[in-house]
Amino acid sequence: MREEQDRPEPEADPTEPFAAALPAPEAAPAPDEGLLGELLDHEPPAPLPSTPARRFRAGLGKVMMATGGVIALLALVYVADLMLSAGDVPRGVTVAGVEVGGMSHGAAEAKLRIELEPRLVQPIPVRAGDARAELDPTTSGLGLDWQATLDQAGHQPLNPVRRVLSFFRAREVGVVPTIEPRLIRQAVTELASERLNHGLTEGTIRFEPAPGDGAVRPVAVEPRQAQELTDIEGAVRIVTDDWLTDRTIEFPMRVTPPKASSAGVHAALDQVVAPAVAAPIRVRGEGTAAVLRPEDVAGSLQFAAVPDGSLQIRVDQSTLRRVLLPQLVGTEQRSRNARIVFAAGKPDIQPSAPGRQINWARTLAPLMDVARRAADRELPVAYDTRPARVTTSDAERFGIKEVIGEFTTGGFPGDVAHNIGVIARQVDGTIVRPGQTFSLDEHTGPRTASRGYRTAPVHEDGTGPPVIGGGVSQLTSTLYNAIYLAGLKDAGHTEHATHFSRYPVARDASSLRENGSSVEMAFTNDSSTGVAIQASASGGTVTVRIWGTKRYRVESVPAPRTDVVPPPISIGPPEDCTPVAGTPGFSTSNTRILYDLESGAEVSRQTRDVRYAARPTVIC
C-alpha cells in the first residue's frame, strides 16, 4: 500500500479533461476490510477545473436555447396576428387623411362614409394667388368610388417584416374618385374667369368730396397684382387629387405684380397728398392775390408708380394755370411795340414799352413744399419782363419813309362800316420787320363783342347771314391790294366764293366764311427795310397805305373771263327779304409783274388762277 502511494501519478492529458479528474483504478479491497468501512473512510472526488473552452461551450448552449425560445414565441405571435387580422386593411393606412389601418374592410368603409360623405357636398376651398373661392363638388361632377377606394387600401401583408414595419409608419393611399371630365373642366374654367382671374390694379390715390368749400378727401387705391389661371387641365388634376383632403386647394397662377407697394402708396398719401389738400393756398401777385382751393390742387396732382414700390407725384401746371390766370391776368402787362403814328400825313414813331408776364414754371415750382406746410401756405408770383417785338430803336432804323402801296374801297353800309372801322384801328400803325410774316388773324385776335365788333351781314355789301364782325373782309381785300401794289410777298389768302365788283378780278381776299368762321390772310415783308401799315375808315370808304422804302414798279395784268355760268334765280323768303343782284360764275387769272425801280428790268411775275361761283339773283 505505501509503495503505491509513493509512486508518482501520471500527468493528466489535456485533451481528456474528464478522464484526468478520476483517480487511477485500484485493486479491489481486501475482504477483511469490509465494504462499509471503505466507503466511510474514502474522500469525495475533487471538482473539475474551469477552462475557457468549457465556459464557451456552456454559454453557447444557453444562447441557442434562448434564441430558439424567442423564435418560437415570434412564430406563435405571427400566427396569432395573422389569424386575427386576416382580410383587414393594412396597419398605418390612411384614406384622404382618415386612419383606417388595421380595421376590417366593412368597418373601414363605415368609418370612411362617416368621415368623407360630408365632404362630398361641402364646398372645396380654393386659393389662387391673392384670390379665395370655393368649388361646389356636387355641380362639378365629383364623387367617390367606395369599393375601388377600399380595394386600393388592400389587405394585411403576409410578409412578417412589412407587418412589423406597419406598426411604425403611416401610408396614405388616397381615394378613387368618380369624375365627369366635362363638368369639372367647366366648373374650374368658370371659377377662374369669375373669381380667380383679375387685371392689374396699380397703386394710386383718388379723391372724394368732403364737407366744406372745395374740400376733398384723398383715398389710397391699394395695388393688386394681375393674375390668370392658364393651365386649366393642371388645375383639374389638382382638384381631383386633393378635393377630399382637409387642405385648401392651391392653383398656380400667372402673375404680373404691380409696381407700387401698399407702403409706397400710403407714404405718399400721408406725407404729401393729405397735407397738400388740407387747406387753401394763397398765390400772391402784384396788387392782387389768387386762391387755390383743395379741389384745385387735387385736380392738378398726377401719380405714377415706379419699380422701387414708391408713388411718384407730379403737378400738372396747366391745370393750375387755368384756375389762376383769370384771377391774376390783371397783374400782367402786355408789351407795346413801337408804332407809326401818321400825324399831318407823314409817319412818326410811337415808342415801345416792355411788358410783364407771369412765369408759371417759377411760380409753381415750390408748390408742393408750400402745400405740405400746416401754416404760411402762400406762393409769390414770379414775373418775366417781356420786351416788345418791335422796339423804338428798331423802328428808327427801318427806313419807313414813303408810301410803297395804297388802295381804297367803299360801298359798305351800317354795322359793316362799324366793324371795318374797328379792324382798321387794330392794324393801323403796325410795323412789320424785315423777314417777318404778318398774320391778320393773329394780330387782331378773335372778333368778339368784347373787342368792339357788332353783328352784321357776313358779306361787305350787306348780304348774307348775320355774324359777329360781319363785313370785315372789305378791310382784308383792301389790305391785300395794298401789299400787292407794294410788291410784298403773299403768305396766304383766299378769294371770295363769288365775285364782288368793288374789287379787281382775282385780287380779293376774304376773312369770313358763310358760318362766320375766320379765313387766314398774311403777307411777308421780304424787303431789307421795315414796313408800316396805315389804315383808316370813314364816310363809307377804307384806305390802306403801306409805308417803307420803294423797290418796284408793279404792273397788274388781268386775264379774260372763261367758262362763264349765268346766275341762277331764287325767290326770297316772305318776310325780311333782301333782293340781291346775282353775278355770273367764271374762271380767270391775274399776273403781277415786278420791275426794278432803278434799272426798269423785270424782276419776277406771279400768276394766280381763280374760279368764282355764280351768285344767285334773289327776287322778293
For 564-607, how does the pLDDT look when each residue is reduced to its tens digit (9 = 90+)? Answer: 999 999 888 888 787 888 889 999 999 999 999 999 999 999 99
In a domain, 204, yes or no: no
Confidence of residue 562 (pLDDT cuts 50, 70, 90): very high
Same domain, 373 and 464: no
In a domain, 205, yes or no: no
Contact 424, 535 (CB under 8 A): yes
Same domain, 513 and 580: yes
Picking from 71-80, 171-180, 389-398, which range would have the lowest pLDDT averaged per residue?
A: 71-80
Q: Average pLDDT, whole number, for the chain?
A: 84
Higher pLDDT, residue 119 or 276 = 276
pLDDT at 218 over 70: yes
SS3 201: strand
**CATH no. for residue 286?**
3.10.20.800
**Helices 146-153 & 105-116 angle (0-180, nearest 10):** 130
pLDDT at 45 over 70: no
At residue 381, the pLDDT reads: 96
pLDDT at 315 over 80: yes
Confidence of residue 350 (pLDDT cuts 50, 70, 90): confident
Which one of 362, 386, 410 terminates a domain? 386
In a domain, 477, yes or no: yes
**Helices 414-427 & 473-486 angle (0-180, nearest 10):** 40
In a domain, 16, yes or no: no
pLDDT at 272 over 60: yes
Query: How many independent structural domains does the chain possess?
Result: 3
Same domain, 238 and 286: no
Mean pLDDT of 14-22: 40
At residue 337, the pLDDT reads: 85
In a domain, 475, yes or no: yes
DSSP per position, 325-375: HHHHGGG-B--B--EEEEETTEEEEEPPB-EEEE-HHHHHTTHHHHHT-SS
Q: Which of 397, 430, 339 is nearest to 529 (CA)?
A: 397
Confidence of residue 119 (pLDDT cuts 50, 70, 90): confident
Instruction: Measure the CA–CA gap between 43 and 287, rounded to whole angstroms.
Output: 150
At residue 61, the pLDDT reads: 65
pLDDT at 131 over 80: yes
pLDDT at 31 over 50: no
In a domain, 219, yes or no: no
Contact 226, 255 (CB under 8 A): yes
pLDDT at 563 over 60: yes
Q: Which three cell numbers stand for residue 108?
A: 373601414
- Beta-carbon contacts of residue 520 (< 8 Å; ≥ 6 apart): 439, 440, 441, 492, 493, 494
- Beta-carbon contacts of residue 245 (< 8 Å; ≥ 6 apart): 96, 97
In a domain, 217, yes or no: no
Same domain, 350 and 286: yes
Same domain, 448 and 561: yes
% pLDDT > 90, the chain? 56
pLDDT tens string 442-481: 999 888 999 999 999 998 888 888 999 999 999 999 999 9
pLDDT tens string 171-187: 777 778 788 999 999 99
Confidence of residue 107 (pLDDT cuts 50, 70, 90): confident
Q: Which domain holds residue 370?
A: 264-386
pLDDT at 10 over 70: no
Same domain, 354 and 405: no
At residue 157, the pLDDT reads: 54
At residue 286, the pLDDT reads: 92
CA distances from residue 140 to 132, 189, 403 in whole angstroms, order as listed: 18, 11, 96
Confidence of residue 392 (pLDDT cuts 50, 70, 90): confident
Same domain, 421 and 500: yes
At residue 156, the pLDDT reads: 56
Same domain, 273 and 353: yes
Buried b (16+ CB within 10 A) or exposed e, 157-189: eeeeeebeebeeeeeebbbebebeeeebbebbe
Mean pLDDT of 512-525: 90
Which one of 386, 419, 446 terminates a domain? 386
Contact 241, 250 (CB under 8 A): no
Which one of 358, 386, 414 terminates a domain? 386
Contact 320, 366 (CB under 8 A): no
Per DSSP, the chain holds a count of helices (H) and strands (E) of 19, 36
For the range 321-328, what are the long-range contacts, defined as Cβ-Cβ under 8 Å and sequence gap of 24 or more?
Answer: 321/360, 323/290, 323/292, 323/296, 324/283, 324/290, 324/292, 325/358, 327/283, 327/288, 327/289, 327/290, 327/291, 328/283, 328/285, 328/288, 328/290, 328/358, 328/381
In a domain, 362, yes or no: yes
- Beta-carbon contacts of residue 607 (< 8 Å; ≥ 6 apart): 589, 590, 591
Same domain, 379 and 297: yes
Same domain, 372 and 439: no
Same domain, 543 and 413: yes
Same domain, 360 and 435: no
Picking from 11-25, 132-146, 323-337, 495-509, which range would have the lowest pLDDT averaged per residue?
A: 11-25
At residue 551, the pLDDT reads: 94
At residue 596, the pLDDT reads: 95
Instruction: Measure the CA–CA gap between 502 and 618, rounded to whole angstroms.
Output: 20
